[in-house]
Structure 1
């Protein structure tokens, strides 16, 4: 009886995905139509809202000639490199620390006040200190991105570790799992779906901090491109860069959502 029941469910899900994709495309198309009408009839000053044609022209110029001595792929690669380095260190530090804090109230009491203190602070509030301590190179930028992504990843790890059923832990201990084996083969796999969801949130927060990370003494990166173009009132370049940033963010988020579905297919994404 399982096969006849599973087939309608798959058909229903596929129809739902098609409907979702169709509505999303119509929404984006409507937005671009309103943008074109507003710019075509001059409802908004072109300085604030350039036409889609001007933005496309700026994009093609950047893609063909680069921007300020570097190619578009070079700027994108510089930003992604900073984010990837930061998120690597976020995952390898926040996950084990968060899991340990989730399983030990005493350890959580040590780290929780520190993280809860800096977590709501705007990144620019302490970026000047990072520049003072680590200089104006990429190190301070990566650390800023690391700090912005560490808190949400840590909170997700603590939450996921605390909600593991006690019966699962006791059952694993009764079978001889203790210490590292318990954490590696029972606790971490149990936390993995929540960790990937927290990782998705942390990447979004880190990506949003990109402009702040690249605004001091940077000469590359898509965040720096938007900031530099604003100095010359090149709103067409700003819009083009923002769209590029949005497309990259969608691709990164889609990849993480695909990974979550592979690891935990029962979670709706």
Structure 2
């Protein structure tokens, strides 16, 4: 109820601001106009091709980021020397805006989806990796001692000790990583693309269709909110498991 009330207040304030004349309606159009434009986008079959492109790129980017983060965490778990060497590097590189690597991505992967996936994966990798590493360093040594006393092999130790202990930390890192991955993919799509929500947004901006621009942003926000809701659902199930 509180979230619904907050959304209604936000949309109401947006509508009043857009119609008050205090701001240029070309810059901040009324919420009703944006919602109408979003509705028109949703009934156009071409929009779903762009949406599918962005969703696939986000899914691939997050998948690669998660795979890389798990590999790094496994290496750090297997060797304290690697953990002491890699962890500071991750912490220092994490705040770097990953869009600066876009020229490198273009040179390596071309103008297709690969370069957008690479930027999204770089953006998502660091929060996920740092989240898993933070969970790794909080594992109680007694759990590992118990595993050794039961003569668990490396695979059994990973499944029965590491995965349950790291699941919550991984989901927290994943929540942050997905958000940054979405930003990375959309930013890359605005730079050089012919498909995707980022392409639609920059195309609307270049044509000065500001209402359509806001509509695309609103729908991109809805996609991010849906993904975040799915992660929250997984977190709740993990807590009640």
Alignment match, 2:223: 248
1:131 aligned partner? 106
Give CA deviations for 1:63-94 in whole Å, capped at 9, x if unaligned.
3345xxxx121111111100111111222221
1:119 aligns to 2:98 (yes or no): no
Aligned to 1:154: 129
TM-score normalised by structure 2 residue count: 0.92
- Alpha-carbon displacement from aligned partner over 1:142-193 (angstroms, at most 9, x marks no partner): 1111111111111111111111111111011101113222122211221111
Query: Is the CA contact 2:189–2:196 (under 8 Å) kept in the aligned structure 1?
Result: yes
Would you say how many aligned residue pairs link Structure 1 and Structure 2? 241
The whole-number CA distance in structure 1 between the counterparts of 2:143 and 2:2 is 42
Secondary structure of 1:215 counterpart: helix
Q: CA deviation at 1:110?
A: 4.1
Who is 2:5 aligned against?
26
Runs (5+) with no aligned partner, structure 2: none
Other-structure match for 1:12: none
For residue 211 of structure 1, report the CA deviation from its aligned partner.
2.2
In 2, are the aligned partners of 1:103 and 1:162 still within 8 Å (CA)?
no
Separation in 2, partners of 1:153, 1:217: 27
2:171 alignment partner in structure 1:
196
Q: What does residue 24 of structure 2 align with? A: 45
Instruction: Confirm or deny: 8 A CA contact 1:102 1:157 kept in the other structure.
Output: no
Structure 2 residue 40 is matched with structure 1 residue 61: yes
Q: Whole-Å Cα distance in 1 between the matches of residues 199 and 15 of structure 2? A: 27
Is 1:103–1:161's contact at 8 Å kept on the other side of the alignment? Answer: no
Where 1:264 maps in the other structure, the secondary structure is helix
Q: CA deviation at 1:237?
A: 0.8
1:71-110 map, 5 Å: 71-102=46-77, 104-110=79-85
1:75 and 1:222 in contact (8 A); partners too = yes
CA distance in 2, matches of 1:47, 1:210: 27
Equivalent residues of 2:38, 2:218 under 8 A apart: no
2: CA distance, partners of 1:184 / 1:65: 46
Which sits farther off after the overlay, 45-54 or 98-107? 98-107
- The whole-number CA distance in structure 1 between the counterparts of 2:32 and 2:168 is 43
Given candidates 133, 144, 152, the residue that maps to 2:119 is 144
Q: Does 1:212 align with 2:191?
A: no
- Moved segments of 4+, more than 6 Å: none
CA distance in 1, matches of 2:63, 2:49: 21
Say what the alpha-carbon RMSD is for the aligned residues: 1.8
Task: Please give the TM-score of this superposition, normalised by the length of structure 1.
Answer: 0.83
Residue matched to 1:5: none
